[in-house]
Structure 1
Amino acid sequence: MFRFHETATRIQRVGKCVVLAALLAAATDNMTLAQTVTFDSLLDDMLDRDALAVHPNANASFTLKQRSSYDRGSVAPDQAGWFANSDWSNYIRSEVNQGRTEWVLLDETGPGAVTRIWVGGRPEQAATLRFYLDGSSTPFWSGTAEDLVGKNSAMGAYLSWRSVDADLTPAGNSPGQNLYAPIPYSSGLKITFDHTPGGTSNGLWYNINYRTYEPGAAVTSFDPSEPTEAATAAKLAAVNSQLMSPDTAPRGAGLQQHSTTGALGNGQALSQALTGASAVKRLKLNLQAADMAAAIKDTELQISFDGRTTVRVPVGQFFGSGTNQINEVQDWYRTVNPTSGDMTSYWTMPFQNAADIRVVNNGSQNVTVGLEVETGDWNWTDDSMYFHSNYRKTDSPLVGGNHEDWNFVSILGEGVYVGDTFQITTGEDNSPVWWGEGDEKIYVDGEAFPSHFGTGTEDYYGYAWGGRHPETFNHAFVTQPESGANRAVGTTVNGRVRALDTIPFDESLHFDMEFWSNAGGDYDLSVATMWYGKPGAFAVGYEKLGDLNFNGTLDVQDWVLFRNGFDTDLAGLTKGDAYLRGDLDLDGDADVDDFSLFKQAYEAENGAGSLAAVWVPEPGALQLAAFASLSLAMKHLGRGSHLHSKDVNSNDRPARLAVPTPDPY
């Protein structure tokens, strides 16, 4: 893949002719990597777990965005209406097609693909959705939301489904309709709805995820007859069958098995070390304890790749069951069997040299752990990424009626977002009200307004009328293994994992979920997020401040990195790269404020005076004064205005960095 910094280095070393040859070779390599996107190829990509660990820039580069019926009164965090909840029947525009007035849900031009559609509404509606391809005035699909989205028989039950397979449970409430079958288009796609907005039965809620490929990308548009053709019909049947049986999917070449068992008391750990360039393809944990509900909360999974810990999550949350009780889970990447205690992950987790998988008992009871790890071949390239999973929970209960954006995760660096497990517990004093009207707001690469703005927490997780649907469910990409808090006192667990709807980011990703309950009471929230990141990517608040080499300790190597970046020109760097050069407060400069933060963190871990001991020559008062004077002078010379360190944890939404430090336990 063509990389500017590598080519710039060549320019310094070789003549113009060689440089031109290198540029041509790089361009040729890129063209070789590019593939034609088709309905068939997207089905292949859906089942390719390894593909998640390779940044899409390596092949068919795309962005993922969302169109939804979110309340258009939500304009900015500092304006009234940011938590407005009239998400019913909001469209791009209306237009007249063949004498019909239609309301436009999606209208995209250029090469792309719709990868997920969710709709909710009233089951008695006879309204029609229409799909127009590549500028055509004739729809290639027309039908009810149920016919096209929730029960599209041509696509199969694992690509088109209703969250709950019931028409009226209770009367007047419809389950969420979901379509995960891809719809590629070469030059554009428009989706419309023909009911006049307004009224209790004349509209719908909708969320549509779609990829936009680079201009000129080769995309073959969806052919509506294709799913019924013999070859494609057979492939769709195979895809549905595979999604139904996640353990039987091929996991590549060079598979090796590693296993260990142990009985763990409080504070004890079981570890499996792995060496050599490889990838974890399957991770199975068997957990046994007298109190399994406590065990899945107090037993923690920690995984380190090449010396850096990127996973630290309670096992219940990591495997999708939640931490209230052990629940049955089956999605494309995870399974939990509450009878046997088996919990299995199929996330591909590559590493270059070594990995260490640890199971730690943080509880008071003894637990028995069996750990099985399957590894396979992996060719690490510049586009390979490490697997990350971060966990956070509320320090104290949130109070219903006080709306806020509760942060799932904020990531700096380059990577891909792939899933989350969300848990909410309602307090004993809660009335049986619904908590799930909060919208997801996902900002990619520093957006001032989220490119993913949803219509409700239950909509994000694939269901609808959540307060009146207590049923549990497991689908390939969304789950509700526990539903005790749905208009009741208890716990609800929702999971969403991604395949074609993964979210790539080049510089940052900030994910908030609105906390939105229509009545008071206490609510405890927790979430585990899953994402892939290139080396150097990190989640804000989960690494030790100043640990610039991510080895888990503040040491002399961190000081060398900080010293080398101190007061250098950080203009043009991403926030993540600037942080790794010493901009600890993320204000755009590596300056005396950052030095104070680094010194405080370093000496808190290593003892008073420890930083002076590694600074050669040892700094005196004059040197520190010169250090400070130089920084202040540089600021006055016009580096521009920046946030100050005291503002890092303020509610500064455009910066997308207002993240509280996680408190896992």
Structure 2
Amino acid sequence: MQTYTYPDLVNKLVNLRNLAVPPVKGETSGTFSSYDRSSVYDETTDTYQEWGANRDGDGFIRKEEEGMVVLELDGPGVIWRVWSAIAKEGHMKIFIDGKKTPVFDRPFRAFFESYSDERSPLNFPELTPILSRGRNSYVPISFQKSIKIIFEEGWGEYYHFTYTTFPKGTIVPSYTGVFDKESSIALAKVDRKLYRKQDAHEKIENIKEEKIQKVIQSKQKETIFETVNSGAMTKFVIRPKFTDFSQEEITEILRSVTLSIFWDDDEKASVWSPLGDFFGTAPGINSYQSLPLGMTEEYFYSNWFMPYTKGVKVIIENEGEQKIDIEASICHTPLPIEETSHLLRFHAKWHRDEFLDLDKERFKKNGDRWPDWPLLLVEGKGRYCGVSMHVYNTWEQPEEEPQTWWYGRWKDKTIDWWWGEGDEKFFIDNEKFPSTFGTGSEDYIGYAWAAEPPFSMFESAFASQPYVELDANGHTSVNRFHVGDNVPFQEKFEGFIEKYKSNHWGENNCCIYSTVVYWYQEPDVKDKYGKVNLKERLKYIHN
């Protein structure tokens, strides 16, 4: 029987090592959101109806005398993340463990702005970031028996509640609406850790650092690190020497050079990605810092915890025309075989429009699964931990002159250019209706109203937009990482994000997605993703 204190739960937000622990039976996750309830699964025909419905701002479970029920869940469990596009004065009521009196009964807006019952405003800026209009709270709300949340009229628009439930018998503290001294200090410590982002993760003892310097010639590859021992990589840093290259050349190099990582005696890489994309952003160098990944002009870093039993091999391949000079450092720690043989293996794969074994006809415009676009399709036991997306959405300038900004605002736009209406949908272990069903691509990341100018860049521990064009016409780079709120699966994970715009949505307009997905998986189960050729990778990297 597992017992968690509130500080234990808070520390899960920064513990990357936990991601490699296999999920136990009874550990589940999901998201309650305001998605359009006209999207349904028809069991009699095994098809999906109104699957692209897009009135996502006010969906709910049912109405009761006190208001609309937006979340209802049996414990033990924890709410990891609460998000809203606009939180207003209508009350949010949180009922814990079946009690008739809510432990929280205040304006929804106050949930993001106040702390316990104190007069002073909440002051955990890293745990409760406002990301380009989107309100986020990563302050855990735990419950032993059950939780129910009701919104009163005037609460706002759009919501997400992302949760984990633990196996029966697990003991967690139940939220009372007030945080005691120990809990408050735990939140303050983690908030301060998250401020430092790349150094926020839990520290690991007995670390060894390998420093590497390589010149990799055109059309050549180099093994930059290899060991046959049992252990784990804990930090990976690349320092490319790009001083002699133009920005355009750097952008091409970061797609032409690839990273491959092989665990144990595997013949197939568990990690394969263009070098730049692996570190969470594209195209080119876009500075940002998060907890697991980041990029600066001087170096790129990864903090993912990567265990192995029979060793690891890290290869950098240069398929470009220019030789490259890089420095790297890899931190690793020895671990007993008895531990690593039971841990999951880290995976990361880059792809574009990869449907694998899916029936692609169902995903076309008239198919019942449109507009789902596959992020990740894997089998076996593991944990989904996040994604970075490069969206190349570009269009011809409209002839009509707008009254405001570049293309106008709201319904007065001169062109319907916005790419990100698509909801995330995660199907776990053969479920027919996704346990996570979101309300929009920017909502999943954590920002809001992203079709409306101005278009800002931002960074945080778990979500960032390292790049977007000033007028949004061209490249957008976003990422979202799941640490405390990772998505466990026992048999299968099928993750999608809706893509309403086709690859070519006008005579000279296009909308192209590429992505790197990060997850952990059983050692003996291989994913089906392969390498992508250089010609395909180099498409859509320049405006």
Q: TM-score, normalised by structure 2?
A: 0.83
Of residues 164, 170, 189 in structure 2, which corresponds to 1:238? Answer: 189
Question: Paired residue for 1:267?
Answer: 219
For the structure 1 residues 126 and 420, does the alpha-carbon distance in structure 2 shift closer, same or farther, using more than 3 Å as the test? same
Closer/same/farther in 2, CA of residues 369 and 400 from structure 1, 3 Å limit: farther
Counterpart of 1:313 (choices 273, 282, 285) is 273
- 1:205 is displaced (CA, Å) by 0.8
Evaluate the alpha carbon distance shift between residue 488 and residue 335 of structure 1 in structure 2; reply closer, same or farther with a 3 A threshold.
Answer: closer
Whether contact under 8 Å (1:38, 1:221) holds in the other structure is: no
The aligned amino acid for 1:179 is S
TM-aligned CA deviation for residue 35 of structure 1: 2.3
Note the C-alpha offset of 1:540: 3.1
2:216–2:324: 8 Å Cα contact kept in structure 1?
yes
Superposition deviation, residue 161 in structure 1: 1.8
Which of the pair is proportionally richer in strand? 2
Which structure exhibits the higher relative contact order, with contacts defined as CA atoms closer than 8 Å and separated by 6 or more residues?
2
Instruction: Please say if 1:176 is aligned against 2:134.
Output: yes
Question: Could you tell me which residue of structure 2 aligns to residue 476 of structure 1?
Answer: 461
Structure 1 residues 248 and 46, CA gap change in structure 2 (3 angstroms): closer
Alignment-derived partner of residue 13 in structure 2: 46
| CA–CA separation in structure 1 for the residues paired with 2:364 and 2:50 | 18
Which residue does 1:461 correspond to in 2?
445
Q: Deviations over 1:540-570 (max 9, x none)?
A: 34399xxxxxxxxxxxxxxxxxxxxxxxxxx
Residue of structure 2 in register with 1:110 after alignment = 75
Q: Give distance in 1, aligned partners of 2:445 and 2:113.
A: 14
Contact kept, 8 Å, 1:66 with 1:452, in 2: the verdict is yes
Distance in 1, matches of 2:166 and 2:226, equals 40
Give the 5 Å matches for 1:85-234.
85-96=54-65, 101-121=66-86, 125-149=88-112, 153-154=121-122, 156-164=124-132, 175-195=133-153, 203-226=156-179, 229=181, 231-234=182-185
Deviations along 1:31-58, one digit per CA (max 9) or x if unpaired, are xxx321232110122222111111132x
Conserved 8 A contact 1:303-1:311: yes
Letter in 2 for 1:206: Y
User: d(CA) in 2 for partners of 1:352 and 1:155?
Assistant: 43
- Residue in 1 aligned with 2:38? 73
Q: Distance in 2 between matches of 1:400 and 1:504?
A: 29
Q: Retained in 1: the 8 A contact 2:226–2:312? A: yes
What secondary structure is seen at the aligned counterpart in 2 of 1:466? coil
SS in 2 for 1:237: helix
Amino acid at match of 2:518: M
Instruction: Write out aligned runs for 1:565-580 (5 A).
Output: none
Separation (CA, whole Å) in 2 of partners of 1:43 and 1:350: 24
Give yes or no for contact 1:145–1:177 (8 Å, CA) kept in 2: no
2:208 paired with 1:251:
no
**Cα distance in 2 between the residues matched to 1:476 and 1:151:** 21
Are the counterparts in 2 of residues 151 and 160 from structure 1 also a CA contact under 8 Å?
A: no
Q: Which amino acid aligns with 1:464?
A: A
Deviation of 1:155 after TM superposition, in Å, equals 6.3
Residues 385 and 415, structure 1, Cα contact 8 Å, conserved in 2: yes
Q: Secondary structure at the match of 2:254?
A: helix
- Cα deviation 1:439-494 (Å, max 9, x = unaligned): 11111111111111111100110011011251111111111101228x63111111
2:105 aligned partner, one-letter code: S
Gap regions ≥5 residues in structure 1: 1-33, 165-174, 197-201, 545-661
Given that residues 301 and 315 in structure 1 are in contact (C-alpha distance below 8 angstroms), is that contact kept between their aligned partners in structure 2?
yes
1:159-218 per-residue CA deviation (whole Å, 9 max, x = no partner) reads: 112113xxxxxxxxxx1111111111011111111116xxxxx74111111112222322
SS of alignment partner, residue 118 of structure 1 = strand
Residue 305 of structure 2, aligned match among 319, 324, 348: 348
Corresponding residue for residue 489 of structure 1: 473
C-alpha contact (below 8 Å) 2:74/2:145 kept by paired residues: yes
Aligned AA (1:73): S
The verdict on how the C-alpha distance between 1:185 and 1:155 changes in structure 2, with shifts beyond 3 A counting, is farther
1:195–1:538 distance in 2 versus 1, CA, 3 Å: farther
Counterpart AA for 1:435: W
Q: CA deviation at 1:131?
A: 1.4
- Calculate percent identity across the aligned residue pairs: 27
Contact 1:155 1:236 in 2 (8 A): no
CA contact (8 A) 1:120 1:204 kept: yes
Matched residue SS, 1:481: strand
Classify the secondary structure of the residue corresponding to 1:460: helix
Specify the alignment match of 2:346 in structure 1. Answer: 387
Query: CA separation in 2, counterparts of 1:376 and 1:325?
Result: 31
Quick one: distance in 1 between partners of 2:4 and 2:202? 22
Higher share in helix: 1
Whether contact under 8 Å (1:150, 1:161) holds in the other structure is no
Match among 427, 434, 437 for residue 418 of structure 2: 434
Separation in structure 2 between the aligned mates of residue 377 and residue 94 of structure 1, nearest angstrom: 55
Structure 2 vs 1, CA of residues 497 and 266 (structure 1 numbering), >3 Å: closer, same or farther?
same
1:524: which partner in 2? 512
- Work out the CA distance in 1 between the residues paired with 2:235 and 2:150: 42
2:231 aligns with 278
User: 1:664: Cα distance to partner?
Assistant: 5.6
Native 8 Å contact 2:16 2:202 kept in 1: no
Contact 2:201–2:291 (8 Å) recurs in 1:
no
Q: Does 1:501 align with 2:470?
A: no
Shift of 1:526: 0.3
Aligned pair in 2 of structure 1 residues 507, 524: CA closer, same or farther (>3 Å)? same
Assess if the C-alpha contact under 8 Å between 2:14 and 2:200 holds in 1: no
Secondary structure at the residue paired with 1:467? coil
Separation in 1, partners of 2:511, 2:365: 11
Write the letter of the residue equivalent to 1:236.
Answer: L
1:298-337 deviations in Å (ceiling 9; x for gaps): 2211111112210001122111122x22111211111211
The 1:541–1:262 alpha-carbon spacing in structure 2 relative to 1, beyond 3 Å, is closer
Tell me whether 62-71 or 216-225 shows the greater mean CA deviation. Answer: 216-225
Q: Whole-Å Cα distance in 2 between the matches of residues 312 and 129 of structure 1?
A: 44
Partner of 2:404: none
Shift of 1:251: 3.0
Moved more, 509-518 or 149-158: 149-158
Q: Secondary structure at the match of 2:258?
A: strand
Structure 1 residues 425 and 533: CA distance shift in structure 2, 3 A: same
Match of 1:328 in 2: 287
AA in 2 matched with 1:538: K
